[in-house]
């Protein structure tokens, strides 16, 4: 075994770098879904649509910025601006017009409603952006590449994927932990998550908390899409691809667990990249192997806690 | 000749038997003597959603354009044409139900199916069961006509084998010195089948090439960072990829940024549709194909004015460049028109029934803007393949092919009655001597 690690240490090092970039993006999408479920108790299938619209909007904003003659570095804040716009507009709209009507309803109904919303938003994307791939990669090109030494040669990585994606994910993780634990609004959210009835009885406006949380979750989904947009093409269907993986992360992490989502995203990102190097056929199933392995041992997820059923 | 599961004689006997059997089915719908209908209904299955809608929607747009064009000229056989569309994206179970609905409830006169090979494999048996002429307008799987006779199914373009073999021959002719190679293909039927055919052909024509990586990321993967690192570390001389649509755009952009194109020669049989989106990001010097012969800079189109008119009309109406599914849909409509005209003439001006329409398709010859296409006796169309090497020309904002080779369809297509992999195993290096000269420019 030690000999195998010795022989493949270079490849494992490359896989680690790939895994970190992948984990960063997975975390950004999944953490929003996890947060929304933790507070609103709704599994939001339309989260994937918010990711896709965030990606489309980021490309559009980037193209507009470029056409206005703004400097190349403006493509980086354009990503954040797009995510804020998508989350800030669509988040409250969806929460007020749709979700507010199904709080406390059966889970099947909630799933069906958010799935319907997902389908509608898929068509909206096609109406606005068409079906041909959309791309705007200025942010990735702006930062250039970073050469990693390997076997007497170098392997170029984009600085965007090596530093920006994991960096933003780390900032969101730390910022979210600080926000939820150290600010009044964060503590209110945690209170509603823990016991909505008790929190409401103590004067907390749960509806406002729901609106705030969903909007924030929508922004995180859109941020994930926006950050992914410089590295890939945006096409119809990317929302569906994303939401499936996000559900695996949420289920593995434990519903509502931010740190759990980070750890799970890291496990999945590293697991997939190592699989590509040494057993490519397993790459697609690695997230689900991890999920099944964790749930067999801890049905409540890595960081989830068992909740006594009230009678 | 190696053993095959189905000889040419068996196939022809099967087709003839089924046709004769059908003709003896007195009173069947297929054999009924129809009146000239008020409108000619065409059921079209295509991807209207999901990642493959990058091809499916241009296909639908081309169909709408052709319907309008035909109707402005009096329709087909004097009958106005109407298209009814079905989305392939929900899957084959849904598609099979929709196929039946279109035939049995809507009463369509002919079906056009499909983009996905899986969809075509699901629809083709229905064409036989329902005795409804079905034009396979875009799918590529070689299995359709290799696994049994198809009395009511006809493909109006090429198929996977020539689409893979032509780039392989081009590579062997132009860059024969390569020693190592890798594959990165989408993990589904086309990705797996195309690699099997490439590898089989390569082992027959250039044995000893070392495969250093075989990567099959899932269809629709949003990121290829890890796969590209793996390829950069493996340093293959050649990388084969059947990627298409958004997946190819993502792969090419990430590969370009990380200088993978500088280290390895890419062979991309389905590159054409993604080149306009990639712009100058797609570099020069790589082998590119278009699933046929319909490059917009075709060096010797059969009808240059018609090719130019199609490009201009499509761009004017949809504000997009023409890509290969548009050509495939145009070919399907042209074949349908030619088949009806042939069947009507054979019937002395009468309107053909399903059996007579299917009979007209067998051996049909029709014109596309770039060539004349003939449907073989098994129903498979013979479409030439043009492969070239990417270049950046002045005035064109994206890569186009140069040094193009027009591979005659018969040269790169599996003969009737043989299976593709078996046939590819029989290839000898002397086939390279038959490769036509590249057309410089």
Question: In sequence order, what DSSP letters do the residues of B115-184 get, joined into one string?
Answer: SSHHHHHHHHHHHHHTT--EEE-S---THHHHSS--SSEEESS--HHHHHHHHHHHHHHH-TT--EEEEE
Tell me if A137 and B257 make a contact (CB, 8 A cut-off).
yes
Q: Does B321 touch chain A (CB under 8 A)?
A: no
Tell me if A238 and B257 make a contact (CB, 8 A cut-off).
no
B41 lies in some domain: yes
Interface test with A, best of B56, B230, B278 (most A CBs within 10 A): B230
Q: What is the mean pLDDT of residues B69-81?
A: 96
Residue A215's nearest CA partner among A51, A107, A87, A73 is A87
Separation CA B154–CA A80 (nearest Å): 51
Interface test with A, best of B220, B222, B273 (most A CBs within 10 A): B222
Alpha carbon of B55 to those of B76, B164, B317: distances in Å? 26, 19, 17
Look at residue B30 in the predicted model and tell me its pLDDT.
66
For residue A232, what pLDDT band results from cuts at 50, 70 and 90? Answer: confident
Q: Assign A208 to helix, strand or coil.
A: helix
Q: Smallest CA–CA separation between A281 and chain B, in Å?
A: 7
93-112 of A, contacting B, C-beta below 8 A: none
Instruction: Count the alpha carbons within 13 Å of A175 in the hemisphere toward its beta carbon.
Output: 10
Q: Does B299 touch chain A (CB under 8 A)?
A: no
Q: Smallest CA–CA separation between A21 and chain B, in Å?
A: 8
A89 CB-near residues (< 8 Å, 6+ apart): none
Q: What is the mean pLDDT of residues B288-296?
A: 94
Tell me if B226 and A277 make a contact (CB, 8 A cut-off).
yes
Greater model confidence, B35 or A170: A170
B333 lies in some domain: yes
In the numeric block, the tokens 């559900």 are attached to A247
Same domain, B186 and B255: yes
Q: Does A8 touch chain B (CB under 8 A)?
A: no
B120 lies in some domain: yes
Same domain, B400 and B415: yes
Same domain, B267 and B400: yes
Q: Does B262 touch chain A (CB under 8 A)?
A: no
Mean pLDDT of chain B: 91
In DSSP terms, which residues pair with B406 in a beta bridge? B386
Indicate the DSSP class of residue B434.
G
In DSSP terms, which residues pair with B373 in a beta bridge? B366
Sheet holding B134-136: strands in order across?
A: B80-87, B39-46, B110-112, B134-136, B153-155
Q: Smallest CA–CA separation between B260 and chain A, in Å?
A: 9
Q: Does A66 touch chain B (CB under 8 A)?
A: no
B7 lies in some domain: no
Separation CA A196–CA A189 (nearest Å): 10
Question: What is the distance in angstroms between the CA of the first residue and the CA of the last residue of chain B?
Answer: 39
In the numeric block, the tokens 């548009």 are attached to B326
Q: Does B217 touch chain A (CB under 8 A)?
A: yes
Phi, psi of A99 (to 5 degrees): -65, -35
Q: Mind listing the pLDDT tens digit for each residue in B325-343?
A: 999 999 999 999 999 999 9
Domain end point (choices B369, B401, B426): B369
Same domain, B92 and B216: no
Look at residue B38 in the predicted model and tell me its pLDDT.
95
| Residue B292 φ/ψ region, left for φ over 0, alpha for ψ in the -120 to 50 degree band, beta for the rest | left
Cα angle B109, B114, B117 (rounded to 5 degrees) comes to 140
Q: Is A152 exposed, middle or buried (0-12, 13-18, 19+ CB in 10 A)?
A: exposed
Look at residue A308 in the predicted model and tell me its pLDDT.
61
Indicate the DSSP class of residue B46.
E
Separation CA A234–CA B277 (nearest Å): 11
B377 CB-near residues (< 8 Å, 6+ apart): B11, B12, B15, B362, B363, B416
Q: Does B223 touch chain A (CB under 8 A)?
A: yes
Same domain, B286 and B198: yes
Same domain, B51 and B181: no
Tell me if B54 and A242 make a contact (CB, 8 A cut-off).
no
In DSSP terms, which residues pair with B112 in a beta bridge? B44, B135
In DSSP terms, which residues pair with B365 in a beta bridge? B374
Q: Which two tokens stand for residue B162?
A: 């020539």
B146 lies in some domain: no
Q: How many independent structural domains does chain B possess? A: 2
Look at residue B24 in the predicted model and tell me its pLDDT.
41
Sheet holding B210-215: strands in order across?
A: B210-215, B180-184, B238-240, B265-268, B287-288, B385-391, B400-407
Q: Check the CA dihedral A194-A196-A199-A201 and report its sign.
A: negative
Tell me if A232 and B254 make a contact (CB, 8 A cut-off).
yes
Point out the residue among B57, B226, B274 whose CB comes nearest to the CB of A131: B57
Same domain, B425 and B292: yes
* Helix residue ranges per DSSP H, chain A: 2-7, 9-40, 47-67, 75-97, 107-129, 138-143, 159, 165-182, 184-194, 196-201, 206-228, 238-253, 258-278, 286-297
Interface test with A, best of B116, B211, B233, B236 (most A CBs within 10 A): B233
Q: What is the mean pLDDT of residues A76-95?
A: 94
Q: Which residues of B touch A145 (CB under 8 A)?
A: 257-259
Point out the residue among B51, B235, B320 whose CB comes nearest to the CB of A235: B51
Q: What is the mean pLDDT of residues B164-168?
A: 98
Alpha carbon of B388 to those of A79, B158, B391: distances in Å? 38, 17, 9
Interface test with B, best of A128, A134, A232, A268 (most B CBs within 10 A): A232
Look at residue B441 in the predicted model and tell me its pLDDT.
59
CATH of the domain at B352: 3.40.50.2300
Nearest CA in chain B to A272: B226
Is the confidence at residue B254, as pLDDT, over 70?
yes
Is the confidence at residue B11, as pLDDT, over 50?
no
Greater model confidence, B23 or B238: B238
Point out the residue among B50, B218, B230 whose CB comes nearest to the CB of A284: B218
Q: Mind listing the pLDDT tens digit for each residue in B35-59?
A: 899 999 999 999 987 778 889 999 9
B177 lies in some domain: yes
Look at residue B6 in the predicted model and tell me its pLDDT.
42
Residue A31's nearest CA partner among A237, A179, A163 is A179
Say how many C-beta atoms besides its own lie within 10 A of residue A109's C-beta.
11
Q: Which residues of B touch A240 (CB under 8 A)?
A: 50
Same domain, B412 and B290: yes
Separation CA B49–CA A297 (nearest Å): 39
Separation CA A138–CA A75 (nearest Å): 6
- What share of chain A in percent tops pLDDT 90? 55
B1 lies in some domain: no
Residue B326: domain span? 33-139+304-369
Point out the residue among A11, A135, A277 whose CB comes nearest to the CB of B253: A135
The answer to whether the CB of B149 falls within 8 A of the CB of B417 is no
Same domain, B396 and B364: no
Same domain, B218 and B104: no
For residue A311, what pLDDT band results from cuts at 50, 70 and 90? Answer: low
Q: Which two tokens stand for residue B40?
A: 């000619």
Is the confidence at residue B29, as pLDDT, over 90?
no
- CA A249 distance to own-chain centroid: 10
Q: What is the mean pLDDT of residues B125-143?
A: 95
Same domain, B204 and B57: no
Q: Assign B209 to helix, strand or coil.
A: coil
Q: Is B291 exposed, middle or buried (0-12, 13-18, 19+ CB in 10 A)?
A: buried
Tell me if B254 and A231 make a contact (CB, 8 A cut-off).
yes
Separation CA B191–CA B170 (nearest Å): 20
Look at residue B188 in the predicted model and tell me its pLDDT.
86
- CA A135 distance to own-chain centroid: 20
Q: Mind listing the pLDDT tens digit for each residue in B190-246?
A: 899 999 999 999 999 999 999 999 999 988 788 898 999 999 999 999 999 999 888
Q: Which residues of B touch A283 (CB under 8 A)?
A: 217-218
Q: Mind listing the pLDDT tens digit for each residue in B370-426?
A: 999 999 999 999 999 999 999 999 888 999 999 999 999 999 999 999 999 999 999
Interface test with A, best of B183, B184, B226 (most A CBs within 10 A): B226
Is the confidence at residue B280, as pLDDT, over 70?
yes
Point out the residue among A21, A22, A236 whose CB comes nearest to the CB of B53: A236
DSSP per position, A69-131: T--GGGHHHHHHHHHHHHHHHHHHHHHHHTGGGTTTS-HHHHHHHHHHHHHHHHHHHHHHH-S
Q: Which residues of B touch A24 (CB under 8 A)?
A: none
Q: Smallest CA–CA separation between B52 and chain A, in Å?
A: 8
Look at residue B49 in the predicted model and tell me its pLDDT.
79
Point out the residue among B214, B253, B259 whose CB comes nearest to the CB of A156: B259
Q: Smallest CA–CA separation between B42 and chain A, in Å?
A: 23
Separation CA A97–CA A165 (nearest Å): 33
Greater model confidence, B195 or A7: B195
Q: Does A133 touch chain B (CB under 8 A)?
A: yes
Q: Does B90 touch chain A (CB under 8 A)?
A: no
Mean pLDDT of chain A: 89
Look at residue B246 in the predicted model and tell me its pLDDT.
82
Look at residue B15 in the predicted model and tell me its pLDDT.
47
Look at residue B12 in the predicted model and tell me its pLDDT.
46
Q: Is A181 exposed, middle or buried (0-12, 13-18, 19+ CB in 10 A)?
A: exposed
Tell me if A133 and B277 make a contact (CB, 8 A cut-off).
yes
Greater model confidence, A138 or B178: B178
Q: What is the mean pLDDT of residues A217-240?
A: 90
B413 lies in some domain: yes
Q: What is the mean pLDDT of residues B303-308?
A: 95
Point out the residue among B49, B216, B223 whose CB comes nearest to the CB of A236: B49
Same domain, B394 and B294: yes
For residue B20, what pLDDT band results from cuts at 50, 70 and 90? Answer: very low
């Amino acid at each position: 075994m030690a000999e195998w690690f010795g022989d493949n240490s270079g490849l494992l090092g490359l896989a680690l770098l790939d895994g970190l970039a992948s984990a960063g993006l997975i975390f950004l999408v999944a953490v929003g879904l996890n947060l929304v479920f933790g507070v609103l108790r709704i599994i939001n299938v339309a989260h994937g649509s918010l990711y896709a619209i965030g990606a489309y909007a980021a490309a559009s904003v980037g193209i507009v910025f470029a056409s206005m003659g703004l400097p190349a570095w403006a493509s980086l804040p354009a990503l954040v601006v797009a995510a804020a716009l998508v989350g800030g507009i669509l988040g409250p709209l969806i929460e007020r017009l749709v979700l507010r009507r199904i709080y406390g309803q059966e889970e099947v109904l909630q799933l069906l409603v958010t799935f319907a919303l997902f389908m509608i938003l898929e068509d909206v994307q096609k109406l606005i952006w068409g079906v041909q791939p959309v791309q705007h990669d200025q942010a990735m090109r702006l930062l250039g590449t970073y050469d990693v030494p390997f076997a007497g040669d170098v392997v170029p990585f984009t600085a965007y994927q090596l530093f920006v994606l994991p960096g933003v994910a780390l900032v969101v993780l730390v910022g979210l932990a600080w926000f939820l634990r150290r600010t009044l609004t964060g503590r209110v959210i945690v209170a509603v998550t823990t016991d909505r009835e008790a929190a409401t009885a103590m004067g907390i406006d749960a509806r406002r908390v729901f609106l705030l949380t969903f909007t924030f979750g929508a922004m995180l989904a859109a941020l994930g899409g926006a950050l992914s947009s410089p590295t890939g093409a945006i096409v119809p269907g990317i929302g569906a691809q994303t939401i499936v993986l996000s559900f695996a992360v949420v289920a593995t992490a434990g519903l509502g667990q931010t740190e759990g989502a980070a750890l799970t995203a890291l496990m999945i990102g590293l697991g997939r990249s190592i699989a590509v190097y040494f057993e490519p056929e397993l790459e697609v199933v690695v997230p689900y192997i991890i999920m099944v392995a964790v749930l067999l041992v801890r049905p409540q997820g890595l960081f989830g806690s068992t909740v006594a059923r009230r009678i | 000749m190696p053993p095959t599961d189905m000889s040419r004689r068996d196939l022809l006997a099967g087709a003839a038997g089924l046709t004769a059997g059908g003709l003896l089915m007195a009173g069947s719908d297929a054999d009924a003597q129809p009146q000239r209908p008020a409108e000619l209904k065409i059921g079209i299955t295509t991807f209207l959603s999901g990642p493959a809608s990058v091809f499916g929607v241009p296909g639908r747009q081309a169909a709408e354009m052709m319907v309008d064009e035909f109707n402005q000229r009096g329709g087909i056989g004097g009958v106005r044409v109407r298209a009814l569309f079905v989305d392939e994206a929900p899957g084959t179970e849904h598609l099979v139900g929709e196929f039946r609905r279109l035939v049995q409830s809507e009463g369509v006169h002919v079906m056009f199916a499909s983009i996905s090979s899986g969809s075509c494999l699901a629809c083709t048996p229905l064409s036989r069961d329902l005795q409804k002429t079905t034009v396979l307008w875009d799918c590529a799987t070689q299995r359709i006509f290799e696994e049994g006779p198809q009395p009511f199914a006809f493909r109006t373009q090429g198929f996977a084998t020539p689409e893979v073999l032509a780039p392989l021959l081009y590579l062997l002719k132009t860059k024969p010195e390569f020693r190592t190679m890798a594959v990165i293909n989408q993990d589904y039927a086309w990705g797996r089948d195309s690699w099997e055919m490439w590898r089989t052909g390569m082992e027959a024509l250039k044995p000893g090439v070392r495969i250093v990586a075989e990567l099959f990321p899932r269809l629709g993967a949003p990121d290829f960072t890890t796969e590209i690192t793996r390829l950069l570390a493996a340093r293959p001389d050649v990388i084969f990829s059947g990627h298409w649509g958004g997946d190819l755009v993502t792969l090419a952009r990430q590969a370009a940024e990380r200088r993978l194109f500088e280290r390895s020669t890419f062979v991309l049989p389905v590159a054409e549709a993604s080149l306009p989106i990639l712009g100058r990001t797609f570099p020069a010097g790589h082998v590119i194909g278009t699933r046929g012969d319909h490059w917009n800079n075709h060096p010797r189109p059969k009808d240059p004015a018609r090719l130019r008119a199609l490009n201009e009309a499509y761009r004017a109406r949809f504000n997009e460049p023409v890509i290969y599914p548009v050509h495939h849909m145009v070919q399907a409509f042209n074949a349908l028109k030619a088949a009806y005209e042939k069947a009507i003439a054979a019937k002395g001006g009468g309107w053909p029934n399903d059996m007579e329409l299917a009979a007209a398709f067998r051996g049909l010859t029709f014109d596309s803007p770039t060539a004349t296409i003939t449907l073989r006796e098994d129903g498979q169309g013979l479409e030439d393949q043009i492969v070239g090497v990417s270049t950046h020309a002045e005035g064109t904002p994206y890569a186009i092919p140069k040094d193009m080779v027009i591979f005659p369809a018969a040269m790169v297509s599996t003969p009737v009655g043989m299976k593709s992999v078996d046939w590819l195993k029989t290839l000898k290096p002397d086939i390279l001597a038959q490769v036509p000269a590249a057309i410089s420019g």
